[in-house]
Amino acid sequence: MLDVNALTQDLAGNAAKLARRKGGEVDLAAINELNERRRALQKERDDLVHEQRELGPRIGAAKAKGEDASELFERSGQLKSQVKDLEVAAREVKEELDQKLLLVPNLPHPEAPEGGEDEGEIRDTWGEPKSFDFEPKDHVAICDETGLVDLGEGATRLAGKSFVVYRGQGARLTRALINFFLDLHTSEHGYTEVSVPFVVNRTTMTGTGQLPKFEDDLYRIDKDDLFLIPTAEVPVTNLHQDEILPGEELPISYCAYTPCFRREAGAAGKLTRGLKRLHQFDKVELVRFVRPEESDAEHQRLLGHARKPLELLGLHYRVKELAAGDIGFSAARCYDLEVHAPGSDEWLEVSSCSTFTDFQARRANIRFKDKKGPDGKKPKTAFVHTLNASGLALPRVFVALLETYQRADGKVDVPEVLRPYLGGLETLG
């Protein structure tokens, strides 16, 4: 959520910033009108409360002198009723204002590229395309031949299309990747591992920006009004919902493994074969809470953490910064890590590394406060900045591994870094 006062102080400028992004056409004039009504009601209420407070001593003085205080008592009763009515009216306007603000996306970072989905800019590339002395296969063919993943009727019978079953060495490989990612981020990058619920309530979904705008994309448990999480970002970010964090403890960093559930409503035209787009998939998520002045530097640090496992796995990848018109609703700036799948010759997104500035923190009410302020002044409470990245999402990493390390005899080599997690296994299939 954006700061309504900052948003309305420069209506034209902020409207232009929001227009850089898809879905950024927002009626700021309506928001400004509601905010002005809220302020007017609040001022009127405060003025009456001030008058109320002044009546007390006057009534006491009149009583002490034996004077008639009936008119003062009558006025006090009128003020009490008027204040109550104004508080109800102000609360209703505030609720309407908040509902509108919840639908306003974050302001894009000034350095985010201009344009839409096709205008993202490649910032870096690591590794070289894999070359083969035989005709490489795509992961669907490899899975069919090795039996590592059931992409067909076996999974469809259980839950329908876009669900899969990992079998044998395929299941072991997913477990190995999860443990490898978690060990790397906790031991080398300083993250604290957390295990969180896979279902969350409506308040938690609202805190990170999934609700109210994207309810159609979520799996909802109607009876309990709970939601299956689309990413661990949701519960992990909300671990500090309604808290004031000690400033000296920032940055705070968490990593978590969870399955992720996405209905992908409206995305039917983008569905692709095999493991590339699923309704349920595994992911290790990285979440950081940082000081506002360190936000940009922390974003680059987080990007480095997300890149590291790809390099250790020896996978060719590139870093693409998304254009302002392609950035997610809550993010201000985002880098995608895209790994190369040589069998299909495709670039597949395996991580989105985003900074949200104070957008999520305002929605979830996550603040910080230092023990001492600058120059010995009383420290102020401020909203943290939140960041997250996939570290990494498994299915497309799985795809890239199969296609990169496939052999002519149909087997798949295991990258050396993963072998300890597979009991020393050197090949799959």
277 is catalytic: yes
Is 218 in a helix, a strand, or coil? Answer: coil
- What whole-number distance in Å separates Cα of residue 143 and Cα of residue 146? 5
Q: Which of these is catalytic: 277, 301, 318, 419?
A: 277
Q: Which residue in 20, 307, 333, 396 is the catalytic one?
A: 396
* Residues 245, 385: Cα–Cα separation, whole Å: 12
* 414-423, Cβ contacts within 8 angstroms, sequence gap of 24 or more: 415/312, 415/313, 415/314, 417/180, 417/312, 417/313, 418/173, 418/176, 418/177, 418/180, 418/313, 421/175, 421/176, 421/177, 421/179, 421/180, 422/169, 422/172, 422/173, 422/176
Q: Which of 253, 330, 344, 352 is catalytic?
A: 352
Apex CA 258: angle with CA 225 and CA 149, to 5°?
115
Q: Which two tokens stand for residue 341?
A: 């799948």
Closest CA to 215 of 206, 224, 104, 207: 206
The number of C-alpha atoms within 13 Å of 180 and in the hemisphere containing its C-beta is 25
Catalytic pick among 45, 262, 288, 333: 262
Examine the residue annotation and report whether 167 is marked as an active-site residue of this protein: no
Closest CA to 173 of 196, 197, 135, 139: 139
- DSSP-based helix, strand, coil % in the chain, nearest 5: 45, 20, 35
* Terminal alpha carbon distance of the chain: 49
Residue 390 annotated in active site: no
Active site residues: 262, 277, 349, 352, 396
